[in-house]
Chains A and B, each alone.
Chain A
Amino acid sequence: MSEFTNTGAFPAVRPDDDAEREARHQVLATLLGAYADGEVPTETASQIDAHLLGCVRCRREFDVHRSIRARLELESIAPATAALRDRIIAGINTTPIALVRASSPDQAGSFRGRVASRSARALAALAVAAVMLTGLMWWRRSHEPASAPVTVVAELSVVLFSEVLDDYRRVTATELPGRSRDLATVRAALPFPVRALVSPELRLLAAWTTDLRGEPAAVLAYRWNDQLILQYVVSEQLLFRPAEVRRAFADGHRLAARSGAQSVIAWPASASGELLVADLSVNALASLRASVNDR
């Protein structure tokens, strides 16, 4: 319910009536804020002008409004972080919800029905194909050897490795940009599945999105024996682009590189590509990968 609804002029009263004078002050007390903000009608403003000339209490009340407003107007606004901007941009670049909704009203009645019927049949066929494909992928994954052989290449021979290592160094030099509860948001923002690694010895610390070679990627940070491990999840198109990667995967190998104190290891997931980076040896990373599941 509104606490005050009369925005017109306050009532005229006899100046010698104390009760009404107090009532007038009470009305003014509510109006003075709006008066200070230029939000009362001209007629009311004129009456308040006249009243203020002879009323010390209301002048002080008016001063309260004016000075608080002046102080609050000086409040500086801190810029939003770059990580927030990046997450929002990644979100809208990969969540075309509005476009899907916007396209449906363009279609006319009977045409819409035919399209809907055809679409339903196509969707059903796609669903069957997806189930079969998922089953096949699951079978392949479940039969994949836990410790696949690793091919080690020079870091610079795979540009994706260089970018991932650079990103790892940049991130680990500062505060982690996300938190573990961001995982659901990260998953919603990316067009490919993002599976977290699961092991009693791994604890998820944070999740966020980033750009690798101009394409969106997820980053999941874990604690493992007091060591920070970063898992990068990229699209399969991005992972399979380099010839070295395709050759290694075709031979059933994982691909790894060492650069200074850091190593990176990459492997294909069912509908994405994954990389682990840490200040560890290639062998240690390969063992870690072999010891975890994902979900």
Chain B
Amino acid sequence: MPADSRLADRQARFQTLVLPHLDRLSGFARRRTGSIGDAEDVVQDACMRAWGAFDELRDETCVRAWLYRIVRTVLSDSLKKEGRRRQLVSITRLEDAHEAMVGGDPDFAFSEVVGRIDREVLHAALATIPEDFAVAVELHDIDGFKYHEIAEITAVPIGTVMSRISRGRRLLAGAIVESRAAWALGAHAPVDPRVTSLRLRGKGA
């Protein structure tokens, strides 16, 4: 096959396989970076890396997980370079809030509360829990990956994925309950922004 024809074929195949995932990749990157512009930079960089490494994609049915893994790498490089850190709240406090909720008032219907919260509150709550937990929960619940695919994307054992999703949802529940309590007290911020990130680092691995 002539080189021009091979190149055109490769470009067409890349576009067919990759472009349908841009929306979700951008959404994932946006939740990580907090800005549309930064998220697009990340996705563009990831797509160009994917184009350069297109030969390494052996199984086209795995393209989505493969792309997410590249986006994760770009995000990781970007965070290292820019030294950005998310503001986290005390993990112990969120766990306590969750425990108090499941062991407390039997009339409290968490499913109704979480069903009514809006997008901003949900995203603010996700932003307060450690990155590794938030990523695992989002990859499963928003992006629809199975546990074994998340293990591939995040390069951790499947048992760790199971643990991160379970603990991540419990922390998220704690953050939602806290934000609800903060509103009841008339606070402006949905969650307490006190940072105890030093205590939290290393717990997500």
A-side interface residues toward B, CB under 8 Å? 1-7, 29-34, 37, 39, 56-57, 60-61, 63-73, 75, 77-81, 83-85, 87-89, 91-93, 95-99, 101-103, 179, 181-182, 185, 188
Contact = CB atoms under 8 A, between A and B. Distances in A.
Interface stretch (B58-66, B73-81, B155-163, B192-200): B155-163
B111 A66 contact: yes
Contact of B140 (A3, A30, A37): A37
Interface string B130-147: 000000011011100011
B166 A33 contact: yes
Given A32-B166, A102-B6, A185-B44, 15 more contacts: A1-B160, A3-B164, A4-B160, A63-B110, A64-B98, A64-B110, A68-B173, A71-B114, A72-B137, A75-B122, A91-B47, A91-B51, A95-B51, A101-B55, A185-B48
Contact of B115 (A39, A71, A92, A181): A71
A29 B166 contact: yes
Given A80-B40, A92-B51, A102-B55, A85 B162 contact: no
Interface in B11-45: 11, 14-15, 18-19, 22-27, 30, 36-37, 40-41, 43-45
Interface residues of B, number: 65
B142 A73 contact: yes
B169 interface: yes
A168 to B, nearest CB: 22
Nearest to A102: B55
B160 A79 contact: no
Contacts of B48: 88, 91-92, 95, 185, 188
Contacts of B30: 78
Given A2-B160, A30-B162, A102-B55, A69 B169 contact: yes
